[in-house]
Amino acid sequence: MAAPSQTVRAPTFRERYSRQVLFSSIGPDGQERIEQAHVAIVGVGATGAAAASLLARAGVGTLTLIDRDFVEESNLQRQVLFDEADARASLPKADAARRKIAAFNSEIEIRARVADLVPANIHELLQSAQIVLDATDNFETRYLLNDYAVEQQKPWIYAAAVGAYAVTMNILPAETACLACIFPEPPHGAVETCDTSGILNTAVNLAASIEVTEALKWIVGARDKMRRTLLSCDLWNNEWTEIAAAAPRAGCAVCAQRDFTHLRGEGRPHITLCGRDSVQIHERSRPIDLAEMEDRLSPHGHVLRNDLLLRFRRGEHTLTLFPDGRAIIQGTTDVALARSLYARFIGS
Can you spell out the DSSP letters for 313-332?
EETTEEEEE-TTS-EEEES-
Looking at residue 9, what is its pLDDT? 46
Query: Of 273, 275, 204, which Cα lies nearest the Cα of 235?
Result: 204
Residues 6+ apart with CB under 8 A from 60: 34, 35, 37, 38, 39, 108, 219
Contact assessment for residue 256 and residue 132, using Cβ atoms and an 8 Å cutoff: no
d(CA 137, CA 182): 18
3-state secondary structure of 109: strand
Contact assessment for residue 324 and residue 288, using Cβ atoms and an 8 Å cutoff: yes
Contact assessment for residue 248 and residue 176, using Cβ atoms and an 8 Å cutoff: yes
Query: Which amino acid, one-letter code, is at 21?
Result: V
Report pLDDT digits (tens) over 20-54.
999 999 999 999 999 999 999 999 999 999 999 99
Contact assessment for residue 63 and residue 39, using Cβ atoms and an 8 Å cutoff: yes
DSSP state of 227: -
What is the CA 22 to chain-centroid distance, rounded?
Answer: 31
84: phi then psi, degrees, rounded to nearest 5: -65, -35
- Beta-carbon count within 10 A of 24 CB: 7
3-state secondary structure of 168: strand
Can you spell out the DSSP letters for 143-181?
HHHHHHHHHHT--EEEEEEEBTEEEEEEE-TTTS--HHH
Residues 6+ apart with CB under 8 A from 253: 180, 184, 259, 261
Radius of gyration of the chain (CA): 21
d(CA 88, CA 222): 43
Report pLDDT digits (tens) over 70-106.
888 888 999 999 999 999 888 889 999 999 999 999 9
Tell whether the torsion through CA atoms of 132, 137, 142 and 145 is positive or negative.
Answer: negative
* Average pLDDT score over residue span 111-128: 93
- Scanning 90-128, the segments in alpha helix (DSSP H) are 93-104, 122-126
Measure CA of the first residue to CA of the last residue in the chain; give whole Å: 72
Contact assessment for residue 345 and residue 339, using Cβ atoms and an 8 Å cutoff: no
d(CA 210, CA 197): 23
Report pLDDT digits (tens) over 258-314.
999 999 988 677 776 665 688 888 765 678 899 999 999 999 999 999 887 899 999
Of the pLDDT bands very low, low, confident and very high (cuts 50, 70, 90), residue 1 is very low
* Domain boundaries, given as residue ranges, for the chain: 13-244, 270-345
Residues 6+ apart with CB under 8 A from 120: 265
DSSP state of 71: -
d(CA 59, CA 38): 11
d(CA 196, CA 300): 8
The CATH number of the structural domain formed by 13-244 is: 3.40.50.720
CA distances from 220 to 29, 150, 241 (A): 8, 22, 27
- For the whole model, what pTM was predicted? 0.83
d(CA 347, CA 334): 18
Report pLDDT digits (tens) over 151-204.
999 999 999 999 999 999 999 999 999 999 999 988 776 677 787 788 999 999
> Does residue 3 surpass a pLDDT of 60?
no
3-state secondary structure of 12: coil
Report pLDDT digits (tens) over 198-232.
899 999 999 999 999 999 999 999 999 999 999 99
Q: For the domain with range 270-345, which CATH number is right: 3.40.1130, 3.40.50, 3.30.310, 2.60.40? A: 3.30.310
